[in-house]
Amino acid sequence: MKKARDHALKLRHRFSRRALLLGAGQAGLFGLLAWRLRQLQIMETSEYRLLSDENRVNRQLTAPVRGAIFDRFGAAIAEDKENLRVLVIPAYCKSLAAALAEISTIVPVTAADKDRIMRASRRRSRYLPILVTEGLTWQQFALLNVLAPQFPGVQTDRASYRHYSDARSAAHVVGYVGMAGKGEVDQDPVMRIPGFRIGKTGIEKGLDRELRGHAGSRSYEVDAHGRIVRELGSIPSEPGKDVVLALDHELQALALDRLASQRRGSLVALDCTTGDVLVMVSTPSFDPNEIAFKADAKRWAALATGPDEPLNNRAAAGLYPPGSTFKVVNALAGLTAGVITPEERITCKGGYFFGNHFFHCWKTHGPIALHDAIKSSCDVYFYETAHRLGIDRLAVTGRALGLGQTHDSELAGLKAGVMPDTAWKRATLGAPWYAGETISCGIGQGYVLATPLELAVVVARIASGKVIVPRFVRPQGSGAQPPLAPLPIDPVHLQLVRDGMSAVVNEKGGTATRSALTIPGMPGMLMGGKTGTAQAFGHGSKRHFTGWEAQPHSLFIAFAPVDAPRYAVACVVEHGGYGAHTAAPIVHDIMTELLLRDPAAKPAFAASNPAGALSALADAGTAR
């Protein structure tokens, strides 16, 4: 019995210890739970309230209205228009594929768009909205809003799209907008707004930061399905700045029409006193509306890969041998270096021997001085001048006149031509310069290349005697512009060359007398110029050209009026034949229009800039 009582007592004590340990453990666990609850509900309440709000609150960036682009007289060339869109937020959709199917019953959604949306939903946060389609009609937009409660995760939106007026004539200068590329998306949070577009070429790209503006934001309370319950607040976007170009849009259209008969060509007209680019056209052109909004893939491919490269701005990026237009540069270099004088006569026998090579002239001129050498475009005279100069001294004057330079500019895509010298050839080709190469360069062949814009700068600098820099955007404000620096060339030498250029057009024996100005009501109005006919193959080219491509390029540079130069024009027609036959008549017509309209003498438009008529549109936000 005693053993039984002892055993029972031991069991009772053991049970008491277990109960005590179990109770202590339970108390500890409950204490830990209470501590954790206190930490969650009291100590960290603000943090978890914020996380809760993030599930309840949807914050969206709002795209700013892009600044408008005007011509010098206030004609709108590029501006934003209202764009009705539909977007989807994958996280709030029961099934993204089902949501897209429901949307497609009201708005056509292509298979390519569906594939794009599905890929985007896998690549990025499912809480970010994805653009389904845009350019909705008002009826489609209204119906989607009416059916909104039935479409979880689907929302409509009022944004803007870029519209270009009279688009073809200014397409290469203004450029166009497009979706940000992979390398651009992370540069600015605004790039992640569905459907947001940035400048891709031209002024749109060169001044994209100014035109783009800054994004705003809107906050919404949403339910579990992502439907908007109410708006909580907003920060307005900052519209982009308006831009006023130096272009005369009507003259642009006239110039493009005048070049329409040519397969490829370009023309640039400058104000000789300010550098304003009044006209810059390139043909063939294109309509930026076709690729800036709801671009068709086939149309884009045709533009990007077409044999005539319509997207290429030939006026700013086309590189051509300047041909005989370069002779005015050679003449000024020779006068500056003192290797020729105005009175010296150099005998032309129809060609020029150098070493064992014979360089042809287009005719036999006999003994000829500077004035007549420019007027009749004698090759031999300028072969000899270049030989006396050497390429390095010739290059110094060429660069002083604007060759081989892009100039700081608001226009994206400018290219610099080539004004070669001995250092350039060694650095570029790893070879020494040969004297015979200087002979070819003396008449604008060989390694010498220039853009039409550069040629317009050359003639503007010769005409004005100033360091003209092309200006695409007119300065805003009333502040006086700093005076232009004088050219580092003797004004007497400049006048000698101007007289020779006047003789090209206005004296018997000049190469462009058929393009002399005859403007009703403007008797005595004279234009000076220089023709150029350039071989259409590069230095050392082994390609054999046939047919149209075998024809030389046609060039003409000009300024007017001769007695008080105001306008400078350069034209290049690819494979157009002789400069006097093709390019000179085109310049004659455009110069006539310039003098009749006299755009540089008229008051220019000033941008008001708050951001234009659609400033409220950027913050319209989600219409649901």
Whether pLDDT at 449 is above 60 = yes
Strands (E), 17-56: none
- Please compute the mean of the pLDDT values over residues 267-279 and round it to a whole number: 96
Per-residue model confidence (pLDDT) at position 34: 72
CATH number for the domain that contains residue 186? 3.90.1310.10
How many helices, marked H, and strands, marked E, lie in the chain?
21, 19
Q: Tell which wins on pLDDT, 416 or 614.
A: 416
Lowest mean pLDDT among 58-72, 275-289, 421-435: 58-72
Distance from the Cα of residue 149 to its chain's centroid: 44
474-500 b/e (C-beta count within 10 Å ≥ 16 → b) = bebeeeeeeebeebebeeebbebbbbb
Looking at the structure, tell me whether residues 500 and 572 fall in a common domain.
yes
Looking at the structure, tell me whether residues 234 and 341 fall in a common domain.
no
Residue 383: pLDDT band (50, 70, 90) is: very high
Per-residue model confidence (pLDDT) at position 613: 37
Q: Is residue 46 part of a domain?
A: no
Whether pLDDT at 48 is above 60 = no
Of 269, 192, 162, give the one whose Cα is nearest residue 567. 269
Q: Is residue 13 part of a domain?
A: no
Per-residue model confidence (pLDDT) at position 621: 41
Whether pLDDT at 218 is above 60 = yes
Chain segment 275-304, per-residue pLDDT in tens? 999 999 999 999 999 888 877 778 888 888
Whether pLDDT at 620 is above 50 = no
Whether pLDDT at 57 is above 80 = no
How many domains does the chain fold into?
Answer: 2
Looking at the structure, tell me whether residues 162 and 267 fall in a common domain.
no
Looking at the structure, tell me whether residues 234 and 255 fall in a common domain.
no
Q: What angle do CA 213, 218, 219 make, to 5 degrees?
A: 155
388-406 b/e (C-beta count within 10 Å ≥ 16 → b) = bbbbebbbbbbebbbbbbb
Cis preceding linkage at 561, omega within 30: yes
Q: Is residue 539 part of a domain?
A: yes
Whether pLDDT at 436 is above 50 = yes
Whether pLDDT at 539 is above 80 = no
- Please compute the mean of the pLDDT values over residues 231-237 and round it to a whole number: 78
CATH number for the domain that contains residue 421? 3.40.710.10
pLDDT above 70 covers what percent of the chain?
86
Average pLDDT of the chain is: 87
Q: Is residue 290 part of a domain?
A: no
Per-residue model confidence (pLDDT) at position 460: 98
Of 269, 268, 260, give the one whose Cα is nearest residue 308. 260
- Please compute the mean of the pLDDT values over residues 353-376 and round it to a whole number: 95
Q: How many angstroms separate the Cα of 179 from the Cα of each of 50, 216, 241, 301, 469?
A: 34, 19, 20, 16, 32
Residue 41: pLDDT band (50, 70, 90) is: low
Per-residue model confidence (pLDDT) at position 491: 97
Residue type, position 213, single letter: G
Q: Tell which wins on pLDDT, 410 or 231.
A: 410
Burial of 117 (0-12, 13-18, 19+ CB in 10 A): buried
Whether pLDDT at 196 is above 50 = yes
Domain around 123: 58-103+113-244+611-619
Lowest mean pLDDT among 150-154, 365-369, 387-391: 150-154
Looking at the structure, tell me whether residues 65 and 141 fall in a common domain.
yes
Whether pLDDT at 610 is above 50 = no
Looking at the structure, tell me whether residues 201 and 258 fall in a common domain.
no
Looking at the structure, tell me whether residues 186 and 274 fall in a common domain.
no
Whether pLDDT at 191 is above 90 = no
Looking at the structure, tell me whether residues 276 and 420 fall in a common domain.
yes
Q: Which DSSP helix (H) or strand (E) runs through 120?
A: helix 111-123
- Please compute the mean of the pLDDT values over residues 31-39 and round it to a whole number: 72
Looking at the structure, tell me whether residues 451 and 511 fall in a common domain.
yes
Residue 407: pLDDT band (50, 70, 90) is: confident
Chain segment 111-150, per-residue pLDDT in tens? 888 998 999 888 877 878 889 988 899 999 999 988 877 8
Strands 177-179 and 197-199 come out as antiparallel
Looking at the structure, tell me whether residues 234 and 271 fall in a common domain.
no
Looking at the structure, tell me whether residues 156 and 271 fall in a common domain.
no
Q: Are 539 and 250 in contact (CB under 8 A)?
A: no
Per-residue model confidence (pLDDT) at position 523: 87
Whether pLDDT at 423 is above 50 = yes
Residue 237: pLDDT band (50, 70, 90) is: confident
Q: Is residue 297 part of a domain?
A: no
Q: How many angstroms separate the Cα of 464 from the Cα of each of 264, 283, 372?
A: 30, 29, 22
Q: Are 59 and 228 in contact (CB under 8 A)?
A: no
Looking at the structure, tell me whether residues 378 and 409 fall in a common domain.
yes
Per-residue model confidence (pLDDT) at position 374: 98
Q: How many angstroms separate the Cα of 611 from the Cα of each of 79, 203, 314?
A: 10, 17, 32
Q: What angle do CA 341, 345, 349 make, to 5 degrees?
A: 140
